[in-house]
Amino acid sequence: MIDARLQPLQRAVLQPPAALLAARGVSADAISIVGFVIGLLAIPALAFGWWTAAFVLIAANRIMDGLDGAVARINGPTDRGAFLDIALDFVFYALVPLGFALHDPAANALPAAVLIAAFVGTGSSFLAFAAIAAKRGDRATRFRTKGIYYLGGLTEGFETIVLFLAICLFPASFPTLAWIFAAACGVTTILRWHQGWTAFR
């Protein structure tokens, strides 16, 4: 919902470390992959209830996700980088609820499943719109530096990060927060369906 407004701040914060990494020959793709591996480590941390470790690993994954884009803007963006970034992101988004389901299946499995299904809705509508927009040569006016057409909504990257960090801080509230966020994702999906239906008619 506010990703576009946060972009200038994000770029200002990430530009110095990105310039340092780019100068040392670190590629955006390498950062994407390392960030994803760090994110994967959060899943066993969540499953075992190591909430502080999971918080740190999720935060590190999201910082790396910002850094890969900053480095790509310095070195020059690539189609492979854009593909890798979004593909790994959507898998990571689904794995975090899975970690909570593994920790306490009785309490968390159903809300985790619903949240993952909601992520499928937001992700599939996002990617379907991007695919058709690319075919038509359309560009997102608010996200011109993104590698693909970036379609906004009620639940974007920032809101998802806030959710993930909040459920690490308040793990007992996971079912409630998962249900609420899944409902918000449902609204986002419906709004994106409507936007695609209107834009591509």
CA distance 107 to 122: 24
The type of residue at 43 is: I
Domain ranges of the chain: 3-199
Q: What is the pLDDT along the chain (201 residues), one digit of tens a residue?
A: 666 676 777 788 888 898 999 999 999 999 999 999 999 999 999 999 999 999 999 999 999 999 998 999 899 888 899 899 999 999 999 999 999 999 999 999 999 999 999 999 999 998 988 888 878 877 665 545 555 666 667 788 889 999 999 999 999 999 999 999 999 999 999 999 998 899 888
Which CATH code is given to the segment(s) 3-199? 1.20.120.1760
146: left (phi over 0), alpha (psi -120 to 50) or beta: beta
- 41 HSE (CA, 13 A, CB side): 14
Cα separation, 43 vs 103, whole angstroms: 10
Beta strands in 34-165 (DSSP E): none
